[in-house]
C-alpha cells in the first residue's frame, strides 16, 4: 500500500517538527497505540492494537527515525509482530515547508506491507484500512499541533504585556518616597514656628 498527501497546519514549522519527535504526541496520533517508549532520540518501541476486517491483533514493534534533516524532513519507519495475525511493516517520509512564519505545509508519503493472516484478507481491505489509519494519524497530528500553536502563541503575549507593568510599578514607589519625606518635614517645622 502506498499513499501520499499534504496538509497545511497554521503553526510555525519549529512547533510541527517538535511534535513529530515527541513520543507523547505520536502516541496520541497513532490509531490504537497503547504505549511508546523512547530508547534513544531516533529509536522507540511501540505497542499498537489494530483491527483489520475480522482480524484484531496487538502489535509490538520498533519505530525508527532516519534521514533526519531538522527541521525539514525525516523518515519514520516501523516493524511490528502481531503473533498469529501476522506482521506489519511500513513508514512515512515527512517533509515540512515553511509557507510563512505561522504556517507549515506538511507533505507525506506512506508505505505499508502486511504478512501472515492479515495478508490473506485481500489487498483492497488492507489498502483501505491502511489509508484510513494514515489519514487518522495525520488529521489528529494537525489538530494537536493547532492546539499547541494556540497555547504557545498566547504565552509569549502574556509575558510581554507583563514586562511594562512591572517596570512602571518599580518607578512609581521611588518617586513617591522622596515626596512623602518632604511633606513630613514641612509638618514638623510648622508646629515649632507656632510655639515661638
Residue 143: count other Cβ atoms within 10 Å of its Cβ. Answer: 13
> Which CATH topology does 2-152 take?
Alpha-D-Glucose-1,6-Bisphosphate; Chain A, domain 4 (3.30.530)
Give per-residue pLDDT as tens, 80-98: 999 888 898 999 999 999 9
CA distances from 196 to 135, 165, 188, 190 (A): 95, 49, 14, 11
pLDDT class of 154 with cuts at 50, 70, 90: low
- Residue range 10-23: average pLDDT? 95
pLDDT class of 20 with cuts at 50, 70, 90: very high
- Residue 112's closest CA among 135, 96, 95? 135
What cell was used for 143?
489538530
pLDDT class of 153 with cuts at 50, 70, 90: low
* pLDDT surpassing 80 at residue 130: yes
Q: Give the residues across from 7 on adjacent strands.
A: 106
pTM: 0.73
Mean pLDDT of the chain: 80
* pLDDT surpassing 70 at residue 157: no
Domain ranges of the chain: 2-152
- Residue range 133-152: average pLDDT? 89
pLDDT class of 161 with cuts at 50, 70, 90: very low
* pLDDT surpassing 60 at residue 37: yes
The full length of the chain comes to 196
Amino acid at each position: 500500500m502506498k499513499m501520499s498527501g499534504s496538509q497545511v497546519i497554521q503553526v510555525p514549522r519549529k512547533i510541527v517538527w517538535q511534535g513529530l519527535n515527541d513520543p507523547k504526541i505520536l502516541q496520541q496520533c497513532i490509531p490504537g497505540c497503547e504505549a511508546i517508549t523512547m530508547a534513544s532520540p531516533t529509536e522507540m518501541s511501540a505497542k499498537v492494537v489494530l483491527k483489520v476486517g475480522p482480524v484484531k491483533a496487538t502489535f509490538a514493534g520498533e519505530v525508527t527515525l532516519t534521514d533526519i534533516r531538522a527541521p525539514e524532513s525525516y523518515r519514520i519507519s516501523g516493524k511490528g509482530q502481531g503473533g498469529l495475525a501476522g506482521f506489519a511493516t511500513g513508514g512515512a517520509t515527512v517533509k515540512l515547508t515553511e509557507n510563512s512564519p505561522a504556517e507549515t505545509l506538511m507533505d507525506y508519503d506512506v508505505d505499508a506491507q502486511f504478512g501472515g493472516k492479515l495478508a490473506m484478507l485481500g489487498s483492497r481491505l488492507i489498502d483501505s484500512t491502511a489509508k484510513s489509519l494514515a489519514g487518522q494519524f495525520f488529521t489528529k497530528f494537525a489538530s494537536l499541533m493547532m492546539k499547541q500553536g494556540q497555547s504557545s502563541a498566547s504565552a509569549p503575549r502574556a509575558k510581554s504585556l507583563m514586562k511594562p507593568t512591572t517596570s512602571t510599578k518599580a518607578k512609581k514607589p521611588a518617586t513617591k518616597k522622596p515626596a512623602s519625606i518632604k511633606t513630613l518635614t514641612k509638618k514638623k517645622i510648622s508646629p515649632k514656628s507656632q510655639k515661638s
